[in-house]
Amino acid sequence: MTSLFDLADVTVTRGGRTILDRISLTLAPGERLALVGANGAGKTTLLRTLVGLETAATGQITAFGAVRRSEADFREVRIRAGFLFQDPDDQLFSPTVIEDVAFGPLNLGLSPAAAVARAEATLDSLGLAALAPRITHRLSGGEKRLVGLATVLAMAPQVLLLDEPTNALDERHRARLIEILAGLDLAMVIASHDRPFLEALATRALLLTDGRVAPANLDRQGH
Ligand SMILES: Nc1ncnc2c1ncn2[C@@H]1O[C@H](COP(=O)(O)OP(=O)(O)OP(=O)(O)O)[C@@H](O)[C@H]1O
């Protein structure tokens, strides 16, 4: 089967600084790829580059079987690759949870009734049905994280890109998140400093250092 993402010699610079330096990597269907590396190593930048939120100065990005260059190309990639942002407040902007989760499906062209039905089914599948009528900005951090994941999953993505998903989660929400992600039949790229979390989920790991990637062993790396 063809890969979901293929990066070939991708360089990303910012303000004259090279953040990603000729990165090549492949994400195969079913893989859960961990991205590890020190603060500022470029993990978030790499996730953003996969979906065209950063522009590659050199190299080629292939996603879902096609080379992606234009903003229109990447808009399509962003529909198929769900991005869970580091800060849930960047993900949630509707007054209530159900509206937030229905927003993506509505944007995909579903009717309002079908979008709400999709949102309800997604919340239900994550055990979050009780949160549907809640005011989004009054949720706890852990609840916001899980609802953020619901907004992404309601779009029926083919890949999940997760940026520090366990940040600021208590043990109960962290365990719940692991359980949910482990139960999804989806490829993932997971940027995280949470070693036990990555050990529980990842099938492979890459270490980012000085803008370069190298295979990493989750058992032995010290980050
Ligand atoms: N908007 C921006 N403008 C300028 N520099 C930025 C911007 N965003 C990030 N950077 C810089 O790019 C580098 C890579 O940042 P990035 O957030 O990708 O790292 P990271 O590995 O995700 O870090 P962390 O583990 O702290 O989340 C850092 O030096 C950071 O300061």
Nearest residue (by CA) to ligand 1, atom 3, is 14
Residue 141 lies in a domain: yes
Residue 1 pLDDT grade (very low, low, confident, very high; cuts 50, 70, 90): low
- 90 in any annotated domain: yes
The answer to whether residue 221 is domain-embedded is no
The rounded distance, in Å, linking the Cα atoms of 94 and 19 is 33
Number of folded domains that form the chain:
1
Residues 3-56: tens digit of each pLDDT: 999 999 999 999 999 999 999 999 999 999 999 999 999 999 999 999 999 999
∠ CA 123-124-129, nearest 5°, is 70
Q: What's the DSSP call for residue 41?
A: S
Average pLDDT over all residues of the chain: 95
Q: Is a pLDDT exceeding 80 seen at residue 222?
A: no
122 lies in some domain: yes
CATH assignment at residue 62: 3.40.50.300
CA distance 64 to 211: 24
Residue whose CA lies nearest to ligand 1 atom number 26: 39
- The pLDDT tens digits of the residues spanning 128-170 come to 999 999 999 999 999 999 999 999 999 999 999 999 999 989 9
User: For residue 207, what are the domain limits?
Assistant: 5-216
Percentage of the chain exceeding pLDDT 90: 96
Band of the pLDDT at 218, cuts 50, 70, 90? Answer: confident
The Å distance, Cα 55 to ligand 1 centre, comes to 14
Residue 109 CB-density burial (10 A; 0-12 exposed, 13-18 middle, 19+ buried): exposed
Burial of 209 (0-12, 13-18, 19+ CB in 10 A): middle
Asked if residue 129 is part of any domain, the answer here is: yes
Is residue 20, in this structure, part of any structural domain at all? yes
